[in-house]
């Protein structure tokens, strides 16, 4: 029996995706997540899932960061990006980051059904009039994505909260760990990303966003080793 993961923070659109998937695969088991942290937990519990439908705009990630991380950690899991962004440059970047398909949120149910069936058959599915391109990511973006892929799921959770502007004590509260543990994760994250402070972390991750802009840095927290 197929297991399909659906990750979107909008309940109405998540329901629409569920209906479309059920139309394509009546016997599929559907598993849902509405944040990136909850999605990572879901993937850990269902490592053999057949497909992930991933919204790029969810709490816990910026731009293509979640796609890059999950693709690196679970290379055998086909990922279909579901997004309101319909620009060809964004779609081609998603494919270059490892997406097996790209479904615009404006797509009709029939289009989603066709996409799910095609991707499970091993094909790449893109919107009409758009074909897969051989265009590669810019070298710096590819290098950042490769580093993000090396983070552990818990480190990526911390990274996502940092990118949203949370303080160490807020991250500790959300993850139900000590601030010392958060600082240890931050040290490991900076080492893997090749930077020395949280400002540089946020600026680096900003290169994986659609517009290349970083999130604001919490005042007083831009310290070496993220104190």
pLDDT tens digits, residue range 30-47?
Answer: 999 999 999 999 999 998
Tokens 């329901």, located at residue: 15
Q: Is residue 226 part of a domain?
A: no
Q: What's the distance, CA 25 to chain centroid?
A: 24
Q: Is residue 199 part of a domain?
A: yes
> What's the confidence (pLDDT) of residue 218?
52
CATH number at residue 151: 1.10.10.10
Round to whole Å and give the CA distance between 10 and 198.
30
Are residue 78 and residue 167 in the same domain, yes or no?
no
Indicate whether this model's pTM tops 0.75: yes
**Which pLDDT band holds residue 224 (cuts at 50, 70, 90)?**
very low
Calculate helix-pair angle for 153-163, 179-193, nearest 10 degrees: 90
> What's the confidence (pLDDT) of residue 186?
95
Q: Is residue 41 part of a domain?
A: yes
**Which pLDDT band holds residue 133 (cuts at 50, 70, 90)?**
low
Q: Is residue 179 part of a domain?
A: yes
The tokens describing 186, both together, are 């931050």
> Nearest 5 degrees, angle CA 142-CA 92-CA 210?
70
CATH number at residue 89: 3.40.50.2300
Sign of CA dihedral 159, 147, 154, 43: positive
Are residue 160 and residue 65 in the same domain, yes or no?
no
Q: Which domain holds residue 157?
A: 139-207
Are residue 117 and residue 143 in the same domain, yes or no?
no
> What's the confidence (pLDDT) of residue 126?
86
Are residue 41 and residue 110 in the same domain, yes or no?
yes
The tokens describing 227, both together, are 């104190």
Closest CA to 145 of 59, 207, 189, 202: 207
**Which pLDDT band holds residue 226 (cuts at 50, 70, 90)?**
very low
Helices marked H in the chain? 11-24, 36-45, 65-73, 88-96, 109-120, 139-149, 153-163, 168-175, 179-193, 198-206
pLDDT tens-digit readout, 184-223? 999 999 999 999 998 999 999 999 998 756 555 555 554 4
Q: Is residue 146 part of a domain?
A: yes
Q: Is residue 59 part of a domain?
A: yes
Q: Is residue 132 part of a domain?
A: no
Please give the DSSP secondary-structure letter assigned to residue 34: S
Are residue 11 and residue 116 in the same domain, yes or no?
yes
> What's the confidence (pLDDT) of residue 134?
57
CB distance 57 to 8 below 8 Å = no
CB distance 74 to 99 below 8 Å = no
CB distance 60 to 83 below 8 Å = no
* Structural domains of the chain, count: 2
Are residue 25 and residue 93 in the same domain, yes or no?
yes
Are residue 116 and residue 32 in the same domain, yes or no?
yes
> What's the confidence (pLDDT) of residue 148?
96
Are residue 156 and residue 108 in the same domain, yes or no?
no
Q: Is residue 84 part of a domain?
A: yes
Round to whole Å and give the CA distance between 91 and 99.
9
Are residue 22 and residue 113 in the same domain, yes or no?
yes
Are residue 92 and residue 159 in the same domain, yes or no?
no
Are residue 24 and residue 108 in the same domain, yes or no?
yes
> What's the confidence (pLDDT) of residue 223?
43
Are residue 106 and residue 181 in the same domain, yes or no?
no
Round to whole Å and give the CA distance between 23 and 5.
15
């Amino acid at each position: 029996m197929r297991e399909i993961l659906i990750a979107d923070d909008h309940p109405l659109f998540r329901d629409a995706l569920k209906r479309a998937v059920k139309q394509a695969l009546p016997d599929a088991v559907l598993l849902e997540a509405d944040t990136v942290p909850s999605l990572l937990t879901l993937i850990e519990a269902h490592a053999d899932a057949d497909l992930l439908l991933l919204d790029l705009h969810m709490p816990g990630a910026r731009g293509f960061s979640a796609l890059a991380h999950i693709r690196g950690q679970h290379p055998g899991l086909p990922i279909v990006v579901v997004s309101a962004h319909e620009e060809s440059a964004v779609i081609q970047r998603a494919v270059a980051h490892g997406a097996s398909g790209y479904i615009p949120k404006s797509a009709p149910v029939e289009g989603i059904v066709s996409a799910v069936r095609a991707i499970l058959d091993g094909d790449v599915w893109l919107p009409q009039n758009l074909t897969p391109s051989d265009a590669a990511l810019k070298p710096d973006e590819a290098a950042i994505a490769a580093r993000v892929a090396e983070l552990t799921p818990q480190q990526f959770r911390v990274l996502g909260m940092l990118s949203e502007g949370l303080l160490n004590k807020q991250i500790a509260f959300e993850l139900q760990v000590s601030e010392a543990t958060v600082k240890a994760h931050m040290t490991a994250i900076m080492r893997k990303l090749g930077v020395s402070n949280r400002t540089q972390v946020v600026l680096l991750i900003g290169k994986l966003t659609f517009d290349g802009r970083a999130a604001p840095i919490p005042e007083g927290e831009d310290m070496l080793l993220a104190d």
